[in-house]
Amino acid sequence: MDKKRLLLIVPKLDQGGLERVCVRTARILSDRFRVTIAAFDPSDPAYDLTGLDVRDLGAPALHSRAGKVFRLLQRALKLRRLKRQIGADICYSFGPTANRANVLAGGRGKIWCGLRSWVDVSSSRQLSWTAGRADEMICCSRALADRLKELCPKASARVLYNPYNGEEIAKSAACADGDLPDWEGCRVLVSVGREDPVKGYWHLMKAFSLVHKRLPDTRLAIVGNGDFSQYRELAEALGIGEAVCLPGLKKNPFPWLARADLFVLTSLYEGFPNAMTEAMTLGCPVVAANCMTGPAEILTKDYRAAQKATGILEGEYGILFPTMDPQENLDPSCITKEQRQLAETICGLLSDPQKLDAYAKAAKQRAADFGEETYAERFCRLAQDAGKAAN
């Protein structure tokens, strides 16, 4: 029996959560589907694309209003041709820009649109337009699915958690990285993500300055794309320049996660935080912002109750703290109550080896729930349901 044709649609293939999930999906499902990746701009990929069928649609982003409209129409036309050319059965897009092109293209194959972040459900008008034309709306968390059903009650909301391969992550983590500082005997905090205000790194920097003052053997590494110049300046102004490492983009960030004694996530919003879950597969304890979607669902057994928490919450698999002020503030003299609370939480955990070890074990146990085989089985069930609906 011929395999079904699966078309995965993504804006770019540089470092990012949705790009990583797209590439992992292609590899995980390659023995069950004939998979093609269509990227609007696949230049400078951050992931290994060896052996994958990747099509360059040659339609990178334009930033003027007229340019965006033109590019959307162009992308939709190219996608429609590609769908017909490969005989697509399922066309699964990742993120708002890819979703709009996917539904506008129409044509052959079931249209699946992926919601990857709280921002994806922030505009009810755009969301309604997309959901009304898609066969399935694929959400990477239950909280996103809840929000979708709230805004678009008639939408078909399905949940498909991101996939992780613990064995591959552990193997990559064992590789040498010459940029790793010689922090022998130090306790290391790590966060991973691009330089972007949404990551709340100024909160992390300021909280860490308090942690370092109390626990001088602590160090902080933030790994991700960007030059981080303003954060380097902030670190110097806070007096922690020698204790902070900002190595930039790493195609293999796992040696840094393996070195971590604690993973800290200060994001203002997430979808389903990949780096945090990958750290958990390596047995790294987590302290994370209780932002909309993601952390509460991963770190507790009752995410709806957890999201209503107003203070520090010690979940079954990690610790949550309230999301902090979204207004970026790089003034080193301004340390907020929330930042002090985060610092106190981190110090408390690092100073309690028994609790730290318990959370390390719980994190690894929880990460096993998001294995690749579970993802593949769930995806195939969704595909089968789509096939039944078509008959």
The confidence score (pLDDT) of residue 123 equals: 78
The confidence score (pLDDT) of residue 391 equals: 42
pLDDT (tens, 9 = 90+) of the chain, 391 residues, equals: 588 999 999 999 987 778 989 999 999 999 999 999 999 999 888 888 999 999 999 999 998 999 999 999 999 999 999 999 999 999 999 999 999 999 999 998 999 999 998 888 887 888 999 999 999 999 999 999 999 999 999 998 999 999 999 999 999 999 988 889 999 999 999 999 999 999 999 999 999 999 999 999 999 999 999 999 999 999 999 999 999 999 998 889 999 999 999 999 999 988 889 999 999 999 999 999 999 888 999 999 999 999 889 899 999 999 999 999 999 999 999 999 999 999 999 999 999 999 999 999 999 999 999 999 999 999 999 998 765 554 4
The confidence score (pLDDT) of residue 389 equals: 52
The confidence score (pLDDT) of residue 126 equals: 87
Question: Which CATH fold topology does 166-369 show?
Answer: Rossmann fold (3.40.50)
CB 257 within 8 A of CB 284: yes
Q: Which bin fits 226, alpha (ψ -120 to 50), beta or left (φ > 0)?
A: left
CB 82 within 8 A of CB 55: yes
**Sign of the C-alpha dihedral computed for residues 65, 67, 73 and 79 taken in this order:** negative
Q: Which CATH architecture has domain 4-163+371-390?
A: 3-Layer(aba) Sandwich (3.40)
**Dist CA 150 CA 138 (whole Å):** 15
Output the 3-class SS for the chain. CCCEEEEEEEEECCCCHHHHHHHHHHHHCCCCEEEEEEEEECCCCCCCCCCCEEEECCCCCCCCHHHHHHHHHHHHHHHHHHHHHHCCCEEEEECHHHHHHHHHHCCCCEEEEEECCHHHHCCHHHHHHHHCCCCEEEECCHHHHHHHHHHCCCCCEEECCCCECHHHHHHHHCCCCCCCCCCCCCEEEEEECCCCHHHCHHHHHHHHHHHHHHCCCEEEEEECCCCCHHHHHHHHHCCCHHHEEEEECCCCCHHHHHHCCEEEECCCECCCCHHHHHHHHCCCCEEEECCECCHHHHHCCCHHHHHCCCCCEECCCCEEECCCCCCCCCCCCCCCHHHHHHHHHHHHHHCCHHHHHHHHHHHHHHHHHHEHHHHHHHHHHHHHHHHHHHC
Same fold? 4-163+371-390, 166-369: yes
**Dist CA 389 CA 385 (whole Å):** 6
The confidence score (pLDDT) of residue 108 equals: 87
63 to each of 13, 119, 194, how far by Cα in Å?
19, 19, 20
Domain ranges (residues) in the chain? 4-163+371-390, 166-369
The confidence score (pLDDT) of residue 48 equals: 86
